[in-house]
Amino acid sequence: MSERHPSPSDPAQEGARARAHGRPKDACPYSAGSPERRAWLEGYDGAPIERAPDLPTDRA
């Protein structure tokens, strides 16, 4: 029987979990400018930072 060790936490998953639990966006525990912070914020927002928001279409 092998022991299972938890894998290191994924910052993007942490950010998504934080949002799901109602934590504020400024609760990110990572340093400004770090790749981990960027991933956490992407997870929180549910989209990569470079991706522009979808705009509504004006269809009649």
Helix, strand, coil tally for the chain in percent (to 5): 40, 0, 60
Model confidence over 5-58: pLDDT tens digits? 444 589 999 999 999 999 999 999 999 999 999 999 999 999 776 655 555 666
**Which residues touch 39 (CB under 8 Å, ≥6 apart)?**
10, 11, 12, 15
Distance between CA atoms of 11 and 39, rounded to whole angstroms?
6
Q: What confidence tier does 4 reach under pLDDT thresholds 50, 70, 90?
A: very low
Q: Do 42 and 12 contact (CB within 8 A), yes or no? A: yes
Closest CA to 27 of 44, 13, 8, 50: 44
